Amino acid sequence: MIMSEMLPKDPYNLIITGVGGQGNVLLSRMVGVMLARKGLEVTIGESFGAAQRGGSVMSHLRISRSGTWSPLIPRGRADAVIALEPAEGLRVLALYGNPRVQALLNTRPIYPIGVTAGEAAYPSLESIRRAAEGLSERCWLLPATEEAQKLGSPILGNIIMLGAFSRVSPLSLDREAFEEILWEMFPEDKWKVNLQAYSIGESLISAENARS
Amino acid sequence: MDVLLDPREGARHLLLGNEAIARGALEAGVRLACGYPGTPASEVIESLLRAAAERKIYVEWSTNEKLAMEVAAAGSFAGLRSLCTMKQNGVHVGSDFLLHLALSGTRGGMVVVPCEDPGAVSSINEAEARMFSKMLEIPLLEPGDFQELKDMVRWAFDLSEEIRSVVMVRSVTRLSHGSGVVELGPLPDLREAPPPEFRYEGPTGDPDRGVLMTFPLDQTHKRLQEKMERVREIFESSPFNTYRGPANPDLLVVTSSACFLHCREAISLLGAEGLVGLLKLGTTWPLPRRLLGRYLASTERVLVVEEVLPFLEDNIKALAADLASEIGPTAFFGKASGHLPSRGELTPEKVAQVLAELLGIPWEGEPGGYEDKALDVLSMVPNREWTFCPGCPHRASFWAINQALKLDGRKGFVCGDIGCYTLGILPTGFHTVKMVHAMGSGIGVASGFGQLGSFGMDQPVVAVCGDSTFFHTGINGLVNAVHHRARVIFILLDNGGTAMTGFQPHPGLPLDALGREVIELDPVRICRAMGIRVEVGDPFDLKGTQQLLVELMQEDGGVQVLVLRRACALSPQRKSRTEFRMCVDERRCLGHSCGCNRLCTRVFRCPGLIWDEEKGVSRIDEVICAGCGVCADICPAGAILRQEVA
């Protein structure tokens, strides 16, 4: 074990959330393996029963130096939230947030069918920003899907969010660890575009930091 | 290299719970593995398939769970180690066989792994297999973390061989679909072994060489109960039962399975390590009597923490009654006392709340108005209801069925079944399905409704069934309906695989789980061989399907079959391939003034078609749309346009 890996808090609790089909489970797996390779104990709890049917998806990551934790983070105890969909980000912040949480929200909505049908309202981007700011110590709203579309596929939004998170997270998620796992988990023809996505994520943070 | 096949003893990997189960079986030298797909169990077999070639394992997605048990048992009878796995209700499907297997006994180690779903995260029930262990008299092991998933499955094979009986290892969603770092053990050498042989030349009752039978029952049942007494003795010193806490705790918590992790966290959240003793049981049936007696004697207050029904609680209380003179007065808390619910999933904070109450420790949320703010935010987040995927053939099928039933006008209804198309009961399926029960029950119940015409019932009866469910048990219901001339329209929603759980093969497909060429059984030919009318249609042809259904509803008596064929939108052959580029002609879309009352977005509800509030027109969400083109046919104004993608 590499004992130099420090954690700001033990266990450090990260939630990755989104909607089925956005690559939520893959992203949590990548983050989990990257940290486990650093010698940290990682426990992940996932709800992906409805992952392919438009439902909310949520992965709970517990990162520790001392063994296995519950696969469910207790309410109000998240240290960071990565949301691949903004309304899901708010849902998770409301349930698991606290005044010290970091939040990264992709700004592109996926409308629930109740919204499309006119039975429910979807909050505006401005109210999402206000709500996320009110429930976090620091939040970043990032146009990850739009940037991913420019690269050719909206699914790359998850890697863009990872690149962004790596810039602001106290966890040791570095580009080398990402590259290592990319070589292992992805076919070769996907390497370049995923590396681009990761870099875009890194630079989106700079842009968002400059904005505020 | 695949982590499942890492030969290095002591290597540590982040494994999905179901991968840990598979690795445990590999370390035990499993040779046969069978299952029927179901969340949260499916990845056990999927993982063993990754190892099948290198570890020389026969892996099978069986036609149903009872068959999975039977095929696995054959391996055991011939001396091989075998495993079968399924979701919770699958054990109910196979329980008749399991009842007899317990009495006849096994040879090679045989382990049944139900992966259960307390709280029904991805189920329509929260059934339990634990009761079967008591009812059928087989040992029950419940791992309490990811390492134990692997270690206990590994050990369960040894136990099974020692007592010559099937052993159950129960997992739950939070373990099976959780991940943790697991330290690997060695993989056994695959030496050349003599070919497996089923021996039957010995005397009656010989466990290794006799004929396998459950009678004479006084002997086989006695033998089974003696085995369970041996198991109880083995469990007394099992390393899978652990205790952490003071010698005489204020409160003893007894728990098992994923609740162990919730309890440990709850104690840590409250800082109550000095007050609470945590007894984690890995061997939950039969209960180790002396071990429990020791811990029950150490305190006067006991809280039993488990999910859904009070299995552990009731069994411990029964034991405590027997041990009353040794353990002294004991107050039990749990479900009967009203401290914990008998349904749903537990979480660390739910356990913490109960502990706080029993210990008189304060348990508070975030101060400073954060919780009020959070509630406000929660109220502005719209619910995310389950929906068929964009491009899903089921949405089109239910649209046509729903329209046909309305046109018919006799209050016809649909008996549903298990698969993605269960969602036909929700708005995404236009509430077309009116009942859902077990696998294969749609056509089974429909075959009963189909007899009620003799009492004057005139409602058309429709049953829907997926292709995998058809082979699972639907075919039995169809046989019953056909034979008794039930008046039923049977619609087979054939999307080319077991789609809901990740495209596992079934008997209707040309390749099996191992990729071998197998005999594909065509449901159309099977149905035609029953001597009934069988039509085949494309669900994306809304008008044609609807007309055909109206016509079938006019037929008198007997079963009419309609096979609606179109591959799942997420299937390997359709995924990431769009047939059409869709767009909405804003000049033609009549918006709110359309007589259709927003049929496209308000009723059809495909996530790929959204409503532009500012312009008051429909719009395609290009990130979501799968380009199936079906919505173009529902717009009365012809405003939704499809453009073929080259």
* Whether the Cβ atoms of residue B115 and residue B143 lie closer than 8 Å to each other: no
Please report the DSSP string for A18-74 in residue order.
Answer: EETTSSHHHHHHHHHHHHHTTT-EEEEEEE-TTTTTT-EEEEEEEEESSS---SSPP
Quote the minimal CA–CA distance from B207 to chain A in Å.
41
Nearest-Cα residue of chain A relative to residue B623: A154
A162 Cβ contact list (under 8 Å, min separation 6): A27, A30, A31, A82, A173, A178, A198, A201
Whole-angstrom Cα distance, residue A109 to residue B425?
26
Q: Which helix (H) or strand (E) holds A202?
A: helix A191-211
| Residue numbers in B near A120 (CB within 8 A) | 382-383
Q: Which helix (H) or strand (E) holds B483?
A: helix B475-483
Q: Do A71 and B175 count as a contact with CB atoms less than 8 A apart?
A: yes
Number of CB atoms found within 10 A of residue B1's CB: 7
From B12, B13, B383, residue closest to A120, measured CB to CB: B383
> pLDDT tens digits for A7-46?
999 999 999 999 988 999 999 999 999 999 999 999 999 8
Q: Do A123 and B381 count as a contact with CB atoms less than 8 A apart?
A: yes
Quote the tokens at residue A28. Answer: 């949590």
CATH architecture of B580-644: 2-Layer Sandwich (3.30)
Please report the DSSP string for B142-160 in residue order.
Answer: ---SHHHHHHHHHHHHHHH
Q: Do A46 and B147 count as a contact with CB atoms less than 8 A apart?
A: no
Whole-angstrom Cα distance, residue B466 to residue B487?
20
Q: Is the peptide bond before B216 cis (omega within 30 degrees of 0)?
A: yes
Q: What length is written for chain A?
A: 212
Whole-angstrom Cα distance, residue B580 to residue A175?
38
> pLDDT tens digits for B58-78?
999 999 999 999 999 999 999
Interface test with A, best of B381, B425, B498 (most A CBs within 10 A): B381
From B12, B180, B611, residue closest to A116, measured CB to CB: B611
* DSSP SS3 for B139: coil
From A29, A54, A122, residue closest to B607, measured CB to CB: A54
Q: Do A46 and B621 count as a contact with CB atoms less than 8 A apart?
A: no
Phi, psi torsion values for B32, nearest 5 degrees: -125, 135
Nearest-Cα residue of chain B relative to residue A149: B623
Residue closest to B395 by CA, chosen among B646, B629, B199: B629
Interface test with B, best of A38, A41, A72 (most B CBs within 10 A): A72
Phi, psi torsion values for A137, nearest 5 degrees: -75, -40
Quote the tokens at residue B170. Answer: 């129960």
Residue with token string 């039977």: B70
Quote the minimal CA–CA distance from B501 to chain A in Å.
9
pLDDT value of position A2? 47
List, in sequence order, the alpha helices (H) in B323-464.
324-327, 348-359, 370-380, 393-408, 441-449
Which residue type occupies B628? Answer: C
Nearest-Cα residue of chain A relative to residue B592: A118
| Residue numbers in B near A47 (CB within 8 A) | 121, 177
* Whether the Cβ atoms of residue B417 and residue B438 lie closer than 8 Å to each other: no
Quote the tokens at residue B408. Answer: 């018919």
Q: Do B374 and A94 count as a contact with CB atoms less than 8 A apart?
A: yes
* DSSP SS3 for B420: helix
* Whether the Cβ atoms of residue B386 and residue B528 lie closer than 8 Å to each other: no
Q: Do A71 and B374 count as a contact with CB atoms less than 8 A apart?
A: no
ipTM of the shown complex: 0.95
Quote the minimal CA–CA distance from B645 to chain A in Å.
16
Interface test with A, best of B18, B19, B181 (most A CBs within 10 A): B181
Q: Do A52 and B147 count as a contact with CB atoms less than 8 A apart?
A: no
pLDDT value of position A1? 43
Number of CB atoms found within 10 A of residue B640's CB: 23
pLDDT value of position B1? 83
| Residue numbers in A near B264 (CB within 8 A) | 70
Strand order of the β-sheet with B488-494 is: B433-435, B413-415, B461-466, B488-494, B559-565, B533-537
| Residue numbers in B near A70 (CB within 8 A) | 174, 258, 261-262, 264-265, 347-348
| Residue numbers in A near B258 (CB within 8 A) | 70-71
Nearest-Cα residue of chain A relative to residue B368: A99
pLDDT value of position A3? 47
Interface test with B, best of A24, A35, A113 (most B CBs within 10 A): A113
Quote the tokens at residue B638. Answer: 């012809």
Quote the tokens at residue B586. Answer: 């804003």
Provide the β-strand partners of residue B488.
B559
Whole-angstrom Cα distance, residue B489 to residue B557?
10
Quote the tokens at residue B348. Answer: 């660390």
> pLDDT tens digits for B189-212?
988 788 999 999 999 889 999 999
* Whether the Cβ atoms of residue B181 and residue A42 lie closer than 8 Å to each other: yes
| Residue A186 reports pLDDT greater than 60 | yes
From B173, B375, B383, residue closest to A114, measured CB to CB: B383
CATH (residue range B242-359): 3.40.50.920
* Whether the Cβ atoms of residue B205 and residue B170 lie closer than 8 Å to each other: no
B610 Cβ contact list (under 8 Å, min separation 6): A111, A116, B601, B618, B619, B620, B621
Distances in Å between the alpha carbon of B237 and those of A11, B286, B288?
A: 32, 13, 8
Whole-angstrom Cα distance, residue B610 to residue B605?
8
| Residue numbers in A near B386 (CB within 8 A) | 50, 53-55
Quote the tokens at residue B431. Answer: 């509430």
| Residue B328 backbone zone (phi > 0: left; psi -120 to 50: alpha; other: beta) | left
The residues spanned by each domain of chain B are: 3-236, 242-359, 393-565, 580-644
Provide the β-strand partners of residue B560.
B489, B533
| Residue numbers in A near B569 (CB within 8 A) | none
Quote the tokens at residue B344. Answer: 């749903």
Distances in Å between the alpha carbon of B208 and those of B32, B234, B307?
A: 19, 22, 39
Counting residues of chain A whose pLDDT is more than 90, the rounded percentage is 85
B491 Cβ contact list (under 8 Å, min separation 6): B397, B401, B462, B463, B464, B465, B561, B562, B563, B564
* Whether the Cβ atoms of residue B492 and residue B467 lie closer than 8 Å to each other: yes
* DSSP SS3 for A132: helix
Q: Do A115 and B427 count as a contact with CB atoms less than 8 A apart?
A: no
**Judging by DSSP bridges, how do beta strands B276-280 and B251-255 pair with one another?**
parallel
From B368, B377, B384, residue closest to A55, measured CB to CB: B384
Q: Read off the pLDDT of each residue in A124-133 and give the average, rounded to a whole number.
A: 97
For domain B393-565, give the fold.
Answer: Rossmann fold (3.40.50)
Distances in Å between the alpha carbon of A24 and those of A27, A159, B46, B487, B523?
A: 5, 10, 20, 46, 36
B213 Cβ contact list (under 8 Å, min separation 6): B104, B204, B220
pLDDT value of position B262? 98
Whole-angstrom Cα distance, residue B31 to residue B55?
8
Whole-angstrom Cα distance, residue B537 to residue B567?
13
Fold agreement (B242-359, B580-644): no
| Residue numbers in A near B13 (CB within 8 A) | 36
* DSSP SS3 for B195: coil
pLDDT value of position B500? 87
> pLDDT tens digits for B74-103?
999 999 999 999 999 999 999 999 999 999
Q: Spell out a b/e string for B418-457, using b for 16 or more CB atoms within 10 Å of the CB, else e.
A: bbbbbbbbbbbbbebbeebebbbbbbbbbbbbbbeeeeee
Whole-angstrom Cα distance, residue B452 to residue A33?
58
The stretches in chain B having pLDDT less than 70 are 365-367, 646
> pLDDT tens digits for A51-95?
556 789 999 999 999 989 999 999 999 999 999 999 999 999 999
Domains of chain A, each with CATH number or no CATH? 12-111+121-211 (3.40.920.10)
Q: B3-236 domain in CATH 3.40.50.300?
A: no
Interface test with B, best of A116, A129, A149 (most B CBs within 10 A): A116
Q: Do B373 and A36 count as a contact with CB atoms less than 8 A apart?
A: no
